Chain A
Amino acid sequence: MKPPPFRYADPGSVDEALDVLAAEGDGAKVLAGGQSLLPLLAMRLAAPATLVDVNRVPGLDRVEASAGGVRVGALVRHAGLLRDTAAAEVQPLLARATADVAHPAIRNRGTTVGSIAHADPSGELTAVLALTGGSVTVARPSGRAEVGWRDLFVGPLETSLSGPAVVVDAFFPALAERSGTAFAEIARRKGDYAVCGAAVVVTLDEDRRVAAVRAAYLSVGPVPEVHDLTEAVAGKPVDSADWAAAGALARTLVDPDTDLHATADYRRLLVGVLTERTLAEAAAEAAGRTAA
């Protein structure tokens, strides 16, 4: 269907956007890449009174990679982040996960920050923000503040942001020393939302023994969660750690739902399989980054 009628503004700065959002009240919504919001309008699942398009706001299209992490501006498209080699070096999980977001034509418009603000538990970047312990910078009429991922995601497609607010960037901390990451998902077709997905990080100690293992999953709960799987493999040499045991532990920790696409049992099975697979990959990367 066609989107229902709305009013439209395309302010030239974050402050102007906040002014319009404040003046228009609860019926106003930020429009970024439009790759989630416009489908919702077309399906008549949302009918905002006013769209505040931030695409004309200068300065929001930058990726800043530093030793501490990667800051992704609100207008950086999935495709742009995917091309950013400096970002991939600081936090390799970003490119690995973004490659599985939708199709190229959608990645050309959709934004990393938009997919976080959209808070879809099937989204790749929500899981990555959680696993890396990331945060977003939120601009409000009262000023700017960092909001950590735990305080941001409150339910499926629901964040704690209310009233006039524009997310200006998302920050993903760097991959730590002696650590490796991996990402994998199962989807009906490449580019579709995942039936289940896993993002993992493995950290070794100086003797190449497993020091920490964490995982975040896609499409297994209402909000992204990070599970600590260290106890299944703690202290084991990286070459002989039993990743299947970590997968088995993960299956006991998740509580997926049944929906049209998959049963809860199938999703739990996938959690085990994907955990084992990705941990082996992440461990190999961690080993490569740890002097023998």
Chain B
Amino acid sequence: MTSIDTERTVSLTVNGVPREARVPVRRVLADALRDDLGLTGTHVGCAHGVCGSCTVLVDGEPVRSCLVLAVQVQGAAVTTVEGLARDDHRGGQVLHPVQEAFRECHALQCGFCTPGFLVTIAAGLEARDAAEEITEEEVDELVGGNLCRCTGYTNIKKAVRHAAATMREDAR
């Protein structure tokens, strides 16, 4: 018999750490991350898929965490903005090249949209061949699904090019 539930316990890996939460089945992943797991880096803007601020990686792919139920990520690996920085092998952490580029290019003002952009762009840049120079079309596609009400996008696009260039250097 298939069980029909109003509440479930979900086990998943978040940023490499096994986590578990008891959630009502209607709870979306974004709220579970923020309220049940205390990871408030993921922001919720529109709550219906339009703005992209809640974007996280599920098994490596960017998804809207406001349009996935927490119970649907049972067993999955989730990466949030808190998980983008990397181990520097000296006991500390280094920012992801996209995070560095956002700082360098002044690609944020209020910062509300930033986690969604960072996660989307990081995954997009990692999925492409770093040795190839990035095209304007690719840049547009990478930022086109996220809304920013502050920056006017110019510096965000600059940051994408900057991060792609860094990753290109690193790939040599």
Point out residues on A near B: beta carbons under 8 Å.
1-12, 16-17, 19-20, 24, 34-35, 38-39, 41-43, 50-51, 53, 55, 79, 102-106, 108-109, 189-191
A105 contacts which chain B residues (CB < 8 A)? 52, 55, 62-64, 120, 145
Known: A2-B28, A2-B47. A190 touches B144 (CB 8 A): yes
B67 contacts which chain A residues (CB < 8 A)? 34-35, 38-39, 106, 109
Known: A53-B72, A191-B145. A104 touches B62 (CB 8 A): yes
Interface contact B72-A55, CB-CB below 8 Å: yes
A–B pairs, 23, beta carbons within 8 Å: A2-B26, A2-B28, A5-B24, A7-B6, A8-B6, A8-B69, A9-B3, A20-B4, A38-B48, A38-B49, A39-B49, A51-B25, A53-B69, A103-B144, A104-B120, A105-B62, A105-B145, A106-B49, A108-B61, A108-B63, A109-B63, A109-B67, A190-B141
B49 contacts which chain A residues (CB < 8 A)? 35, 38-39, 106
Known: A43-B48, A105-B120, A191-B145. A8 touches B8 (CB 8 A): yes
A20 contacts which chain B residues (CB < 8 A)? 2, 4
Q: In chain A, what residue has the closest Cβ to B74?
A: A10
Interface contact A5-B64, CB-CB below 8 Å: no
Q: Which 8 A-B pairs have the closest CB atoms?
A: A103-B145, A8-B25, A39-B48, A105-B62, A11-B2, A42-B48, A9-B4, A108-B61
Q: B28, B52, B62, B67 — which one has the most chain A CB atoms within 10 A of its CB? A: B67
Interface string of B53-79 (1 = CB under 8 A from A): 001000001111011110110000000
Interface string of B129-144 (1 = CB under 8 A from A): 0000000000011001
B124 interface hit (Cβ, 8 Å): yes
Report the bound CA distance from A55 to B69 in whole Å. Answer: 12
Chain B min CB distance to A48 (Å): 11
A79 contacts which chain B residues (CB < 8 A)? 61
A9 contacts which chain B residues (CB < 8 A)? 2-5
Chain A min CB distance to B79 (Å): 13
Q: In chain B, what residue has the closest Cβ to A5?
A: B26
Interface contact B4-A7, CB-CB below 8 Å: yes
Total cross-chain contacts (CB, 8 A): 103
Chain A min CB distance to B149 (Å): 14
Interface contact B26-A42, CB-CB below 8 Å: no
A41 contacts which chain B residues (CB < 8 A)? 26
Interface contact B145-A38, CB-CB below 8 Å: no
Report the bound CA distance from A104 to B55 in whole Å. Answer: 11
Q: In chain B, what residue has the closest Cβ to A38?
A: B67
Chain A min CB distance to B108 (Å): 19
Interface contact B25-A7, CB-CB below 8 Å: yes
**Pick from A10, A50, A109: contact of B64, CB under 8 Å:** A109
Interface string of B95-134 (1 = CB under 8 A from A): 0000000000000000000000000100010000000000
Chain B min CB distance to A52 (Å): 9
B4 contacts which chain A residues (CB < 8 A)? 7-9, 20, 24, 50
Report the bound CA distance from A240 to B150 in whole Å. Answer: 50
Report the bound CA distance from A245 to B31 in whole Å. Answer: 54
**Pick from A4, A5, A104: contact of B6, CB under 8 Å:** A5
Interface contact A106-B145, CB-CB below 8 Å: yes
B66 contacts which chain A residues (CB < 8 A)? 38, 42
Interface contact A19-B2, CB-CB below 8 Å: yes
